[in-house]
Structures are given as structure tokens and as C-alpha cells.
């Protein structure tokens, strides 16, 4: 698994792991680091980004009828024909249903894994547009450009959803999971990561005591705050959800112009 060394020698492990969901005949034991079962009806925008064998590799969010948003490290070095998207399901499976191919990958041109995963965002144009029923398939609500609220500035209640491992070295989840998290202020995010985060690119989510948060396979998935997606799972210190290090997310509000521009150009 790739790793990057951040400021003051902080070692960061990339969350991306290719974990086959097809090999588990029985439901996996445990949760996405102390999450609970969720249903797609509550999060109709969430998707599973799959590799060439249909195995789950990353999360993502539907943002329009043609586009999914995920992390750049989930698409880096991969071709459209190596990926597919499963959508509108609570339980993911290599056999489907609701699987669509990928037409185009639009990775941020300034993505830099050697600078603590700066600009860790990518768009995926699907081969066949989504049909929204607003029950199990619908777009996520995005924040305004450079969105901030007093609550978020001071830290607020957020939520992570995904199918990632329940612990470092744990089991992949086939049922969608949800976990409540604290969204940290920029100052506390930087302090806990010893200066390795940058408020232009990053936002943090976790719990002070550790034990809840993202793990391998959650990469590219959404961090929600007041119903809006404010973060994309990017990286974390290992083992997963270890205190005092909250997970680090790509700050969606910094990229609203980039998202809109690329959707218009490539639609």
C-alpha cells in the first residue's frame, strides 16, 4: 500500500485498497470502524467504484446525471475501461445490480500525492446517464464555493458513509455503513496532524478519543455536514481511526468552480 511522509515525519498511509467483495459468502463481522448499517434510501447519491473484476475499491458520490465525484488517488493511473460504478444499492456485489461503465476520468490537474495529497479530487463521467428516482438514485448536495459556517469553523457534527474495512487488516463491508463524526476546525485539524494539513485542500473528521472513522476502501467517499458533502475521504494515519489523528478529507468547497467548469466542458 502506498505511503507518503508528511510534515515533521508524520507517516501517512493511502486509504486506497482493492478489496474483493465477491469472496465473502457470509456477511462480514464488524463495521466501518464502529459504524452502523445504513440504507441507500437515506444516501441515494453514494456509489461504489469498482475495479476490472467488479471488486469494490473506493467510494464516491453522484453529483449529476452524468458525473460521479471521488478522490484523485482512486483514479490515478487507471483507464476508464478498468472501472465501473455500482449505484442505487445498500449491499454491493461484484455481480451487480445497477452497474454502469465509465466513459471518462477527469482528474484534478494539480493533484499531488507528494504534498499530502493536495487536490485529491476527480470526476468520473459514466457511460450511461443516471436516471434519478430521488429514492435510491439522486445527486448529493454540494456546498457553495469556499463554504463555511460558524459551526463548521468551530467544529461540528458530521457523518461518514461507505463500504470500507471495519479496521486496519479487517473485513470489507458489503452493507453500507454510517458513522457520526466531528468535523474539526482548520486550526485543530492542523494541530493534530502537526502541520501536515492545508486548509486550502483539507478538512478533518473523526472523534477525539479515536475508534471511529475512515479506513481502507472508504477513499473517495463523502463526509457530510448539514446534508451537504463537505469532504472526500483522502488519507489517514494508520491504524485506522487511531487517536489523536482525525481522518483527512479533500475540502469540496474549494473545488466548486472546478467541478462546474469540467461538467460543462465535458457534458
SS3 track for the chain: CCEEECHHHCEEEECCCCECCCCCCCCCCCCCCCCEECCHHHCCCEEEEECCCCCEEEEEEECCCCEEEECHHHHCCCCHHHCEEEECCCECCCCCCCEEEEEEEEECCCCECCCCCECCCEEEEECCCCCCCCCCCCCCECCCCCCCCHHHHHCEEEEEEECCCCCCCCCCCCECEEEEEEECCHHHHHHHCCCCCCCCCEEEEECCCCCCCCCCCCCCCEEEECCEEEEEEEEECCCCCCCCCCEEEEEHHHHHHHHHHHHHHHC
If one counts the domains in the chain, the total is 2
What pTM does this model have? 0.86
Q: Which residue has the higher pLDDT, 56 or 10?
A: 56
In a domain, residue 133? The reply is yes
Whether residue 259 is found in the same domain as residue 244: no
Whether residue 154 is found in the same domain as residue 245: yes
The answer to whether 57 is a known catalytic residue is no
**Around 47, how many Cα atoms within 13 Å sit in the side-chain half-sphere?**
32
Catalytic residue among 219, 234, 236, 254: 219
In a domain, residue 168? The reply is yes
In a domain, residue 132? The reply is yes
Whether residue 129 is found in the same domain as residue 260: yes
**pLDDT class for 58, splitting at 50, 70, 90?**
very high
In a domain, residue 16? The reply is no
Whether residue 124 is found in the same domain as residue 156: no
**Residues forming a β-bridge with 156:** 183
The answer to whether 190 is a known catalytic residue is no
Instruction: Tell me what the mean pLDDT of segment 190-211 comes to.
Output: 94
In a domain, residue 27? The reply is no
In a domain, residue 10? The reply is no
Whether residue 157 is found in the same domain as residue 135: no
Whether residue 104 is found in the same domain as residue 235: no
In a domain, residue 230? The reply is yes
Instruction: Tell me what the mean pLDDT of segment 17-22 comes to.
Output: 32
Q: Are 68 and 85 in contact (CB under 8 A)?
A: yes
Flag whether pLDDT at 16 surpasses 70: no
Catalytic residue among 55, 64, 120, 186: 120
Flag whether pLDDT at 19 surpasses 80: no
Instruction: Tell me what the mean pLDDT of segment 180-203 comes to.
Output: 94
Whether residue 158 is found in the same domain as residue 248: yes
In a domain, residue 155? The reply is yes
Is the alpha carbon torsion for 170, 96, 108, 142 positive or negative? negative
Domain that holds residue 93: 44-139+255-266
Write out pLDDT tens, residues 135-188: 999 999 999 887 765 556 556 789 999 999 988 888 779 999 999 999 999 999
The CATH number covering residue 163 comes to 2.40.10.10
* pLDDT (0 to 100) of residue 144: 83
Whether residue 192 is found in the same domain as residue 239: yes
Whether residue 177 is found in the same domain as residue 126: no
Q: Are 165 and 171 in contact (CB under 8 A)?
A: yes
Whether residue 84 is found in the same domain as residue 214: no
Whether residue 131 is found in the same domain as residue 192: no
The answer to whether 120 is a known catalytic residue is yes
Whether residue 114 is found in the same domain as residue 183: no
Share of residues in the chain with pLDDT > 70 (%): 84
Catalytic residue among 48, 61, 64, 73: 73
Amino acid at each position: 500500500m502506498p505511503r507518503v511522509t508528511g510534515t515533521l515525519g508524520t507517516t501517512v498511509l493511502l486509504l486506497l485498497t482493492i478489496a474483493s467483495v465477491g469472496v465473502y459468502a457470509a456477511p462480514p463481522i464488524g463495521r466501518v470502524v464502529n459504524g452502523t448499517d445504513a440504507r441507500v434510501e437515506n444516501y441515494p447519491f453514494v456509489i461504489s467504484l469498482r475495479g476490472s473484476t467488479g471488486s469494490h475499491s473506493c467510494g464516491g458520490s453522484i453529483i449529476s446525471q452524468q458525473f460521479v465525484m471521488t478522490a484523485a488517488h482512486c483514479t490515478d493511473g487507471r483507464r476508464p475501461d478498468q472501472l465501473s460504478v455500482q449505484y442505487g444499492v445498500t449491499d454491493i456485489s461484484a455481480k451487480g445490480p445497477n452497474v454502469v461503465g465509465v466513459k471518462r476520468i477527469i482528474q484534478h490537474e494539480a493533484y499531488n500525492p507528494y504534498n499530502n495529497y493536495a487536490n485529491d479530487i476527480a470526476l468520473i463521467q459514466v457511460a450511461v446517464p443516471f436516471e434519478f428516482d430521488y429514492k435510491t438514485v439522486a445527486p448529493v448536495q454540494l456546498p457553495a464555493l469556499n463554504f463555511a459556517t460558524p459551526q463548521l469553523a468551530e467544529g461540528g457534527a458530521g457523518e461518514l458513509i461507505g463500504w470500507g474495512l471495519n479496521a486496519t487488516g479487517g473485513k470489507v463491508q458489503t452493507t453500507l455503513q454510517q458513522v457520526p463524526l466531528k468535523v474539526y476546525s482548520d486550526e485543530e485539524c492542523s494541530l493534530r496532524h502537526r502541520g501536515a494539513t492545508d486548509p486550502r485542500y483539507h478538512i478533518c473528521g473523526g472523534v477525539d478519543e479515536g475508534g471511529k472513522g475512515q479506513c481502507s476502501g472508504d477513499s473517495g467517499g463523502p463526509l457530510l455536514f448539514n446534508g451537504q458533502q463537505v469532504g472526500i475521504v483522502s488519507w489517514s494515519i494508520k491504524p485506522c481511526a487511531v487517536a489523536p489523528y482525525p481522518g483527512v478529507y479533500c475540502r469540496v468547497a474549494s473545488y466548486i468552480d472546478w467541478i462546474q467548469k469540467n461538467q460543462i466542458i465535458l457534458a
